[in-house]
Amino acid sequence: MKNTFVKIASLTALSAILFTACKKDKVETPAPVEQELITTIKLNVTGDGGFNKTFTYKVENGFGSTTQGNITKDDVVLAPGKTYNVSVELLNEKVSPVENLTEEVVGESDEHLFLFQSSPATGNGAISFSDGSKDGNGSPFNQTIKFNTATAGNGALTLTLKHQPTNKAATIPEAAGGETDVEATFAVKLQ
Amino acid sequence: MYRSLAAIVVVWLCCSMPLFAQQDSCGYTIKCLVVESHSGRPLFPVSIYIDEMHREFEADEDGRFTIDKACAGVYHIHFHAAGYEHLVQQLHVTANATLKFKLAHTANMLDEVVVTDEHTHTIIQSKDQLKQSDIAANSGKTLGDMLQAVNGVSVISNGATIAKPVIHGLHSNRIVLLNNGIRQEDQQWGGEHAPNIDPFLANNITVLKGAASVRYGTDAIGGVVLVEPAAVRTNAGWDGEVNLAGFSNNRMGVASAMLQHGFKAVPGLGIRVQGTFKKGGNYRIPGYWVANTGVEENNFSGAIAYKKLHYGAEVFYSRFNASLGIYRGSHTGNEKDLMAAIKSPVPLVQSGFSYDIDRPMQHVTHDLVKAKLYADSKIGHWDLVYAYQHNYRQEYDVMRVNSDKAQLNLTLNTQTLNLNLEHKLGHDITGQAGIDGIYQENFFQTGDRLFIPNYRSAGAAAYLIERYRKNDWMLEGGVRFDYRNYDVYNPEGQNQQVVNYLFDYNSMSGTLAFRQQLKPGWHWSATLSNAWRAPQASELFSAGLHHGAARIEIGDKTLKPERSYNLNLETDFNINQKLSADVSLYSQYINDYIYLEPGADILTIRGYFKTFSYRQTNAWLNGADVSLQYKFNDHLKVHAKGSTVLARNVSKNDWLILMPADRVSLGIKYTTNISKTLQDCYISLDGRYVFEQKRIPSDFDSIDYPRPPAAYLLADAEIGATLQLRKQPLYVSLGVTNLFNTRYRDYLDAFRYFIDQPGRNIVLRVRLPFNF
């Protein structure tokens, strides 16, 4: 009686272990999805005399990749002492057809904030910003904005998109709170 | 059945000193010693059960156990020990007493009784226990928080709601948790994944400190936590317990109830159901509410047991179901956001009080089904345990577009099988031998972001542990062989092509331990043990952003298993019941210790991120745990504890990062009986001082910011009493943690970057056991 129990127990254990160790059917692995991916920022710039240019910033990595991927950065080349109308476009070029995320962000303008920073802030190569668009509550949103270029020179322009900022009146990302969805730095040439 | 008991058993009343003259009184303490009848040597392991109290005891290594809080009356007490007669004795409790029980060896008789329960107490190892009273005194807390009471254990946390134990500086996948005898497999991949266990299930919690792979398998490098429920009632009748707790800080309410029944019609058949509900809102740090830190738990379990003298069976099912909000301000977009949050003097995301849980949040369910058969034979006691665990973890990230979907839906299914034989060879050798099998599947769902690749894993192991006991010393030795394979399907590169990897690991582990009694009540022991663990999927395959820490973690497919060698020296001293002391020194060398090393920054569309790659080094951890207790008299006692760990990166000749700071604590407790109805009234004060961690790597500033937080001192106070309403006790306590609402941060808390630790918390607890 006892011996039978012992035998049955040992057999059960062994067979279970062997069974599990030998199972070898294929595992279905779904393709993981990078959530709400943005790959590309486009600055659509229009100005006097039919000026119409698009400057692109694109970083292709962060998706199953642990090395620096391809980076496409256009230089923002504008004329000094002028005013330009700018609108920002956000794309996910990872998918086909390309997904335009601008409408989605505009639809939730109260939860987003575009911030523009120029380096230097004034002087040669600087850009100042005005007339940024507002969200439904009348707070800054800045998806469309005016660039006022200073005197000729080289500088840099940083565009930051904040999600759920805690301070919509902020003019620098450090003061805005929330999460950074996009941070793009363009080289600027005013010539 | 209990033949010739009278001849074999001698109950010897050493001394007796009445405490209360009244009849019907409760609160007696019966100190018991179990010895072998022929040699008079203490017997161990022995499990003891008292029918009328429905309480279980385990004799310690000196054959001693204590029945506390016994009410006057007549009881039946059962003794079970491998290779010995089953002993049932009638016990008349009228006063405090010290008793000695003798068990006779069965001497190869075929049909003798050998029933012991779990085998957790058979290994010589530095260990600490939280008894039922300790667990009840901390009810409502998470398992991790509760374990902080154990010297040498600290917690790694994400704010007040997610905490997991750190034993001697090691945590997560370097610790094995055994829930009801089953290795808990619940995706312990990161610091933010807390153990999915309802502490209300536990009757006692044991912490084994140091490497313990031989009995508990791979991964037990830092130690083992055993969460053990009480045995299901199988003698006829009903009993149960209701626990209630209210916490002021996060306005949390906890209710837990247990009911069990032994069937009269079918002797030996018992059933138990248990459930817990917990709901708390945002918690409060001094001056602020912490946004989105609510918690909700709905847990339940059921068990059926059939217990005969020589064999039995048990089926157990439990479900753990929790939703946890995560402080909104701890999710940062990039390094700049993280810096802004760190530098802000106030919490960046502020809110009022709310019970609502929003994104980011976690929702976890853990199901456990366990079936156990046990029987005695001529060779010894057999246990066959099969278990199935289903763990489902959902993580809800902060999203640009509102949806109900979780961004991670991770499933981990585990089946385990264990066959264990507890045996006795001759008079002096006891031991256990067994085999283990495990099969595991881990997968994510369509539409998830990548966190852990899909994998399948199978493993098998065999072990043997023997103990030789002679007069006042014992020697223990054990060996184990493990085999484990992983079949991994990892999506890689820009096109997310699935690549299949096969990993095979096998290893031996061993233990050698010696324990000696120097004088009655004074022991010393030495344990030499080793353990190993295979690198986990996240260490091999990580390739992505860690939101809380704003960094990219990169796995390494060439990682080798970690192997640890542990030496522990311990002495425990308890003389005159006045002074007791426990000093434990340990030294642990870990070959190929896996850690994260900083690398080059990577530019992403969100800006720059630091990268951290998994690397291996040799680590050497040395430390000490010291605890002292002095009893001035029956009313007043003080205790002091201290622990330290020195963790070196040997290859780099530097300190290891993220190791618990040194800590000391001091407590005083006064207990008295005010009247017949107001008993065990106590008032206690505890202070804990945690030093600033100054042992950090020399390149700390390039890895982490800011430096570890300053030292802190916390004070807790509690009053409590047992209301004895006729024979019905009602336990009530009122406690305050962080009495002075001190502002502090802890180095092992991931929220140290953003916010302080919780402020003052007033806790009211009520426990009502019942019996009919």
Which has the higher per-residue pLDDT, B628 or B607? B628
Q: How many domains does chain A have?
A: 1
Residue B546 has pLDDT above 80, yes or no: no
Token pair of B27 as six digits: 């609160």
Residues ≥6 apart with Cβ < 8 Å to B229: B180, B201, B202, B203, B303
Residue B687 has pLDDT above 80, yes or no: yes
Instruction: Please report whether residue A95 resides in a domain.
Output: yes
- For chain A, say whether B333 makes contact (Cβ under 8 Å): yes
pLDDT at A82: 95
pLDDT at B2: 39
pLDDT at A15: 56
Question: Domain residues for A135?
Answer: 40-190
pLDDT at B567: 96
Instruction: State the Cα–Cα distance between residues B71 and B679, nearest whole angstrom.
Output: 12
pLDDT at A8: 54
Residue B16 has pLDDT above 80, yes or no: no
Top-confidence range, B5-19, B128-142, B496-510, B635-649: B635-649
Least confident of B187-191, B465-469, B531-535, B712-716: B187-191
Peptide bond preceding B706 in cis form (omega within 30 of 0): yes
Token pair of B207 as six digits: 């912490």
Instruction: Please report whether residue A6 resides in a domain.
Output: no
> Could you report the per-residue pLDDT of B44-92, keeping only the tens digit for each?
778 888 888 878 888 887 888 988 888 888 888 888 877 676 777 878 8
CATH of the domain at A102: 2.60.40.1080
Residue B516 has pLDDT above 70, yes or no: yes
Mutate which of B605, B754, B755 to disrupt the A interface (most A C-beta within 10 Å)?
B605
pLDDT band at B694 (very low <50, low <70, confident <90, very high): very high
Sign of the dihedral through C-alpha B67, B69, B72, B77: negative
Q: Where are the alpha helices (DSSP H) in B646-734?
A: 700-703
Q: Where are the alpha helices (DSSP H) in B528-663?
A: 537-541
Q: CB B382 to CB A5 under 8 A?
A: yes
Average pLDDT, chain B: 88
Cα distance from B386 to chain A (closest Cα, Å)? Answer: 9
pLDDT band at B604 (very low <50, low <70, confident <90, very high): confident
Q: CB B492 to CB A14 under 8 A?
A: no
Cα distance from B379 to chain A (closest Cα, Å)? Answer: 10
- Residues B580/B629, Cβ–Cβ less than 8 Å: yes
Cα distance from A90 to chain B (closest Cα, Å)? Answer: 11
pLDDT, mean of residues B168-179: 93
Instruction: State the Cα–Cα distance between residues B83 and B422, nearest whole angstrom.
Output: 10
Residue with tokens 């134990």: B165
Instruction: State the Cα–Cα distance between residues A46 and A85, nearest whole angstrom.
Output: 5
pLDDT at B376: 86
Instruction: State the Cα–Cα distance between residues B759 and B739, nearest whole angstrom.
Output: 8
Q: CB B334 to CB A180 under 8 A?
A: yes
Chain A positions in Cβ-Cβ contact with residue B462 (cut-off 8 Å): none
pLDDT at B673: 92
Q: CB B331 to CB A179 under 8 A?
A: yes
CA angle A101, A105, A106 (to 5 degrees): 115
Instruction: State the Cα–Cα distance between residues B459 and B464, nearest whole angstrom.
Output: 17
Beta strands B551-554; B607-631: pairing state: parallel
- For chain A, say whether B417 makes contact (Cβ under 8 Å): yes
Q: CB A9 to CB B384 under 8 A?
A: yes
Instruction: Please report whether residue A35 resides in a domain.
Output: no
ipTM of the complex model: 0.83
Chain B positions in Cβ-Cβ contact with residue A61 (cut-off 8 Å): 602-604
Instruction: Please report whether residue A170 resides in a domain.
Output: yes
pLDDT at B8: 31
pLDDT tens for chain A, 191 residues long, are 445 555 555 555 555 555 444 445 556 788 888 778 888 999 999 999 999 999 999 987 654 556 677 788 999 999 999 999 999 999 998 888 999 999 999 999 999 999 999 999 999 999 999 999 999 999 999 999 999 999 999 999 999 999 999 999 999 998 898 889 999 999 999 99
Chain A positions in Cβ-Cβ contact with residue B447 (cut-off 8 Å): 30, 33
Instruction: State the Cα–Cα distance between residues B75 and B375, nearest whole angstrom.
Output: 26
Please give the distance of CA A166 from its chain centroid, rounded to a whole number: 19
> Could you report the per-residue pLDDT of B640-655, keeping only the tens digit for each?
999 999 999 999 999 9
Residues ≥6 apart with Cβ < 8 Å to B342: B705, B706, B753, B754
Who among A13, A20, A27 is closest to B489 (CB)? A27
pLDDT, mean of residues B127-148: 89
Instruction: Please report whether residue A108 resides in a domain.
Output: yes
Torsion from C-alpha of B228, B233, B238, B244, nearest 10 degrees: 0
Which has the higher per-residue pLDDT, B338 or B372? B372
Q: What is the DSSP code (8-state) at residue B581?
A: E
- For chain A, say whether B494 makes contact (Cβ under 8 Å): yes
pLDDT band at B114 (very low <50, low <70, confident <90, very high): very low
Q: CB A180 to CB B493 under 8 A?
A: no
Chain B positions in Cβ-Cβ contact with residue A23 (cut-off 8 Å): 439, 456, 458
- For chain A, say whether B481 makes contact (Cβ under 8 Å): no
Residues 536-595 in B contacting A (C-alpha not used; CB under 8 Å): 543-545, 552, 554
Instruction: Please report whether residue A64 resides in a domain.
Output: yes
Give whole-number Cα distances, B668 to B215, B405, B688, in Å. 37, 51, 12
Who among B449, B485, B487 is closest to A35 (CB)? B449
Which has the higher per-residue pLDDT, B671 or B75? B671
pLDDT at A67: 65
Residue B3 has pLDDT above 80, yes or no: no
Q: CB A62 to CB B487 under 8 A?
A: no
pLDDT at A3: 55
> Could you report the per-residue pLDDT of B226-235, keeping only the tens digit for each?
998 988 988 8
pLDDT band at B15 (very low <50, low <70, confident <90, very high): very low
Instruction: Please report whether residue A21 resides in a domain.
Output: no
- Show the domains of chain B with their CATH numbers: 8-103 (2.60.40.1120), 127-224 (2.170.130.10), 225-771 (2.40.170.20)
pLDDT, mean of residues B119-130: 69
Instruction: Please report whether residue A8 resides in a domain.
Output: no
Q: CB B349 to CB A166 under 8 A?
A: yes
